[in-house]
């Protein structure tokens, strides 16, 4: 799904927000948690089941008013393979409810490793003569600070599936300035990344709204930087954490 699809959903819902699905078992309502523990045990399987049931309830409550969800993979990975099953179930269920899914994975590796990530999260894995979709997200978040080698495999996968990526440009965390605000020559590092995002997204604009296939993560905690980036990147879709 290109960003044109996400924009259509935003217009339909009259709501530009994305709901983060970052559940910790200890924060799940007790009646859901205890029911899962009763059935599967107070263990990783029980915790993962509670996460899945909680996510399903959230999606049911939100699908009519929120266009997209953003599960953060770390909260599922910490529960091992049980958690990854819960994540896969969550993505499929959100799709079934018509929601756009941004997998917050922040991958940033290179070469064959990046290609393997891209297949797993976006395009699917070829086994024999058939391609099997695994997580099948509509979009993923990426760390591009290793350069084009860490982004191109995802762009190839996204292009073939009409999907998208968000690349970290200016992040919302307090220490982001340690690297991103440094001056390199006569440019600030995060503006260099913004130029790369524009370059990676060149000639991939959607036909209806004009957004490129490569979006940018731009933290709301730095509003002056956000305004600067919007001027620099007029055709780039922004994912804005921290507001």
Indicate which residues carry an active-site annotation. Answer: 106
At residue 99, φ and ψ (nearest 5 deg) are -95, 150
Alpha helices (H) in 63-163, listed in sequence order? 74-77, 80-96, 111-118, 152-161
Q: DSSP label at 173?
A: S
Neighbours of 61 (CB within 10 A): 11
Enter the tokens of residue 75. 């909260």
Enter the tokens of residue 10. 């935003």
- The CA distances from residue 80 to 40, 74, 83, 84, in Å, are 15, 10, 5, 7
Report the Cα–Cα distance between both ends of the chain, in Å, rounded. 25
HSE at residue 231, side-chain half, CA atoms within 13 A, is: 6
Enter the tokens of residue 45. 């399987």
Cα four-point dihedral sign 37, 41, 43, 49? negative
Identify whether the C-beta of residue 200 lies closer than 8 Å to the C-beta of residue 151. Answer: yes
């Amino acid at each position: 799904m290109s960003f044109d699809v996400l924009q259509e959903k935003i217009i339909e819902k009259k709501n530009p927000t994305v709901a983060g699905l970052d559940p910790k078992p200890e924060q799940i309502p007790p009646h859901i948690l205890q029911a899962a523990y009763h059935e599967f045990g107070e263990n990783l399987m029980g915790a993962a089941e509670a996460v899945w049931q909680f996510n399903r309830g959230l999606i049911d409550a939100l699908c009519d008013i929120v266009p997209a969800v953003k599960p953060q993979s770390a909260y599922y990975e910490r529960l091992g393979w049980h958690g990854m099953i819960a994540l896969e179930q969550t993505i499929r269920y959100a799709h079934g409810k018509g929601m756009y899914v941004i997998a917050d994975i922040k991958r940033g590796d290179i070469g064959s490793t990046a290609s393997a990530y891209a297949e797993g999260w976006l395009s699917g894995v070829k086994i024999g003569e058939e391609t099997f979709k695994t997580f099948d997200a509509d979009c993923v978040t990426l760390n591009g600070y290793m350069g084009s080698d860490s982004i191109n495999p995802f762009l190839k996968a996204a292009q073939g599936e009409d999907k998208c990526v968000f690349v970290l440009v200016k992040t919302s965390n307090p220490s982001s300035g340690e690297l991103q605000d440094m001056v390199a020559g006569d440019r600030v590092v995060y503006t260099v990344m913004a130029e790369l995002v524009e370059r990676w997204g060149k000639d991939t604009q959607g036909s209806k709204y004009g957004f490129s296939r490569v979006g940018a993560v731009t933290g709301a905690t730095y509003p002056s930087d956000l305004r600067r980036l919007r001027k620099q990147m007029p055709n780039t879709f922004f994912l804005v954490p921290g507001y």
